Amino acid sequence: MRTRAWLPRRHPPLFAFATLALTLLAGAPAAWARDNPTLTSEDIAWLRRDGFDLDSASVAQYAAMGRSRYLDAQLDDRLGDALPPAISQLIQSYEVVNTPADQLLTTFQTEQQRIKDMPDGDAKTEAKKAQQKHAGELLQESQQAELLRAVYGANQLKEQMVWFWLNHFSVYGAKGRVRLVIGHYASDSIRPYALGKFRDLVMATLQSPAMLEFLDNAQNANGHVNENYARELMELHTLGVNAGYTQQDVQQLALILTGAGLALRQDRPPRVNPRYANYYVRKGLFEFNPMRHDFSDKVLLGHTIKGSGFTEIEQAVDLITHQPACAHFISLKLARYFVADEPPPELVDRMAKTFLRTDGDIAKVLRTLFESKELVAAKGGKLKDPTQFVVSAVRLAYDGRPVVNARPMLNWLNQLGEPLYGRLTPDGWPLDATGWSSSGQMAKRFDIARAIGTGTNRLFVPEGSQGVAPGFPMLTSKLYYAAIEPHLAPATRDALGKAASQQEWNTFLLASPDFNYR
């Protein structure tokens, strides 16, 4: 059982406020807990890291399968991506989900040309506004779809990995045409590779329209070289800062990447000189156009790569992702996300060895992490980032009940300063507590805890409806008594009982350090 009390100098002021405001409800029923074996403190600590915290389904599945089989099923991706029917139906109602990316882009482009050809005046201005508004709505649909998958996805470890990789390969969703394809970036370039080989994940993001647009490689061509993506590919996506590569390596990689861009018109055959026809590559919207490629030989990280078209890119990614620096950089970030802001070096080293031994197998690296003693030993010391806080609060409060409107979650993330696809720079949101522990952040978290705990939100009111929210959730549930209450710190127990109502009790629990740290 967890016995460590909160540490006032460590935890933000509002958590301390919540502590003082809580009391334990007298005579709370515990029948479910008596009839079901309570998981140990270690079980709960492990399970809280494995997913976006607890809900009844994950606790029951863990209890039925045991840790080892549960981990196997997740890493082998045998739990699938199925969602509750109501949530699946809601996601499928989004235009951005049920429209192919190429159709979204060509429609946008056609409308853009139509507006451009219009005479100047009010009608043209209104048409521009309408197109921008529509693009913004598509972006919001993509954000909502991903948040719903995070809350309701059966494989919670995979859902966390999807979020982790979206942040690692961060793309700013509001940039130009990226708004139209960011949802497909998550579903087509990240999700299928989240537990696979890291090299395949890098190649998938490299060929995605969202990344090509965001980091400008769609404009990278022989004679007009753009280094943006090449630099971030090495610095942010694979090797990390100070990994031994030079500016010349960046320049050489940029040359290797010339010609990698987009083919928006799928109905038009490529216009390529017959001399280069065999070098042309098209995969969906991705196009490698040899007419735009530098065919000279390059030297990258001390290795010569012969001028050979698209295969240069594959060779370069192979070379980079097999570097020890890449194995260490990715392992360190994973350990920082799941274990601690400053993870034990011994654990990172073991993960990096697994990465190198298994050809960058992400699932095997995660197995090293989730079977480590360090993961559980660090329990209670990792502050949730805003996404983890919002998703886990909805999971606990509504425990599988399908929401009908995901927009409030979107708004809460905006208020907390971590909008999905909202990072302007390509470095992704911070993974450590320093980015999320200010007093302003804690005040917002308390407001959101209250909105969820009191039911004063629109999660169960359809978008555009004037209906009234149905009421507050009951967090004093079987799940709470079986999996949460036995492991609360004494200070939380003492404080919970001071709540004047169920709604207040809910709010205080969601605002407590025991919930905000995992």
Q: Which amino acid is at 46?
A: W
- How far is 395 from 397, CA to CA, in rounded Å? 6
- From residue 1, give the alpha-carbon distance in Å to each of 420, 484, 489: 35, 11, 9
User: Of 73, 428, 56, whose CA–CA distance to 235 is shortest?
Assistant: 428
pLDDT digits (tens, 9 = 90+) for 172-224: 999 999 999 999 999 999 999 999 999 999 999 999 999 999 999 999 999 99
Q: What are the structural domain ranges in the chain?
A: 216-380, 386-516
Confirm if 300 and 253 have CB atoms less than 8 A apart: yes
Note the pLDDT of residue 493.
86
Six token digits for residue 42: 């270690």
Does the structure show a pLDDT above 50 at 504?
A: yes
What is the b/e burial string over 229-256, where b = at least 16 CB atoms within 10 angstroms of the residue's CB?
bbbbbbbbbbbbeebebeeebbbbbbbb
pLDDT digits (tens, 9 = 90+) for 29-61: 344 444 555 689 999 999 999 999 999 999 999
User: Of 442, 416, 388, 387, whose CA–CA distance to 12 is shortest?
Assistant: 442
How would you write 138-161 as a 3-class SS string?
HHHHHHHHHHHHHHHCCCHHHHHH
pLDDT band at 6 (very low <50, low <70, confident <90, very high): very low
pLDDT digits (tens, 9 = 90+) for 440-463: 999 999 999 999 999 999 999 999
- How far is 246 from 509, CA to CA, in rounded Å? 50
C-alpha neighbours within 13 Å on the C-beta side of residue 284: 15
How large a percentage of the chain has pLDDT more than 70? 92
Mean pLDDT of the chain: 92
